[in-house]
Amino acid sequence: MQDLQIDWLKCFVAVVDTGSLSKAAPEVHRSQSAVSMQLKKLEAALGRQLLVRDARQQQLTADGQVLLGYARRILDLHSDAQNAFHGDELTGRIRLGVPDDYAARYLTPVLKRFALRYGAVEIELDCEQSTSLIPRIDQGDLDLALVSRDHSRRGTLLFREPMVWVGSPQFDVWRRDPLPIATYESTSQARRCAIHSLALQGRDYRVVYNSSSLAGQIAAVESGLAVAVLTRCSAPEHLEILGAEHGLGPLEPMEVAVYRSRASHGSKPVDQLYGLLIKTLRRVAVS
C-alpha cells in the first residue's frame, strides 16, 4: 500500500473545488500538465479512478467522493501542524457581509473554525440583503460577502440553495384569490423568483407586504397576512412548506457565492477566510 502524498491531495482538492485542471493549476502553483500527473499518481496509488471529465468540468466518481472527505481533513490537519510551528500570527480586520438567512446556517461554523486558528483577527460583520452587499464589495466597503449571486455570474460559486413557499399552518392563505404575498425589496432575486413562478402558473397575486428583513417576512406569514418565498435554510420549522398540492409552482434555487473586493487582495487575513469559506461551503459538482 503506497502512502498518499500531500501534494497529490492538494491537486485533487483544487481540481474538485475549481472544476478543471486549468483553473486548479494556479491554485497549487503548478502547470496544468503537472496537476494532471499528480492526479494520475494519486489514482495509481489507490488503484481507483477518482475523476471523470464531462462536457464542462471534472466530476467525482463514487471513489472520489469518498476520498474527498478524507483529503480535506488531512490537508486541514497538515495546515494546522504547519501553523503551530511556523505560522505567523495573523492580525488585522476583515469586513464581511452576509444576508440574515445565510448567517446562522452557513457562516457560523466557518467563523468558529477561523476564530480557533486566527483569534487575533477582528471581523466586522454586516448583515444586509445581497442586493445591498454586492455594490459594497464593488466600492471596496467590504472585503468579502457571502451572497445570492446576481446574473453577472461573478464571484466564486459555492452551492445552490433551494427556495420554498411558506405559509402558516393556522391560515389557509394559499387559497385566496388573488394570492397575497410578502416580498423583499423590488430588486431582490427572491421576489423575482416568486413572481416568475406565479406568472408561469398564470396565477393572480398581490403584494401586501414589503420588507428587507427576514424577521419581517416571517412575521407576515405567521400573522396570516401572506405567503412568502424564503431560502430553505431560513424557513422556520413551525411554518408550513407549500407546494403543488397548494397550487404553488416550483422555484428556481439561489446560487450562493462568495465575492471578494479588489481592494482586499494582498491581505493575508482575507486570504485565509476566503479560502476557508470555499473549502467549508463549496459543494461537489458546482459550475
pLDDT in tens, 187-237: 888 999 999 999 999 999 999 999 888 999 999 999 999 999 999 999 999
Predicted pLDDT of residue 167? 97
**Chunked mean pLDDT (size 10), the chain, 287 residues:** 93 86 87 95 95 78 93 87 74 95 89 84 94 93 93 82 96 95 89 94 94 91 96 94 95 93 92 90 55
What is the b/e burial string over 128-159, where b = at least 16 CB atoms within 10 angstroms of the residue's CB? Answer: bbbbbbbebbeeeebbbbbbbbbeeeebbbbe
Among 148, 151, 157, 108, which Cα is nearest to 130's?
148
Q: Whole-prediction pTM value?
A: 0.71
Say which residue the cell 445591498 belongs to.
Answer: 132
Q: Distance between CA 94 and CA 267 in Å, rounded?
A: 9
Residue 194, all three cell numbers = 416568486
The H-or-E segment that residue 153 falls in is none
* CA angle, 52 then 55 then 61, to 5°: 20
CB burial of 56-95 (b: ≥16 within 10 Å; e: otherwise) equals ebbebeeebeebbeebbebbeeebeeeeeeeeeebeeebb
Spatial CA neighbour of 147 closest among 103, 186, 183, 112? 103
Phi, then psi, of 162 in degrees rounded to 5: -60, 145
Domains and CATH numbers, the chain: 6-86 (1.10.10.10), 92-156+258-281 (3.40.190.10), 163-252 (3.40.190.10)
pLDDT value, residue 185: 83
Q: What is the pLDDT of residue 26?
A: 85
- pLDDT score at 119: 83
| Residue in 276, 232, 216, 218 with CA at minimum distance from that of residue 96 | 276
pLDDT one-digit tens code per residue, 151-175: 666 888 899 999 999 999 999 999 9
Q: Is 282 helix (H, G, I), strand (E, B) or coil?
A: coil
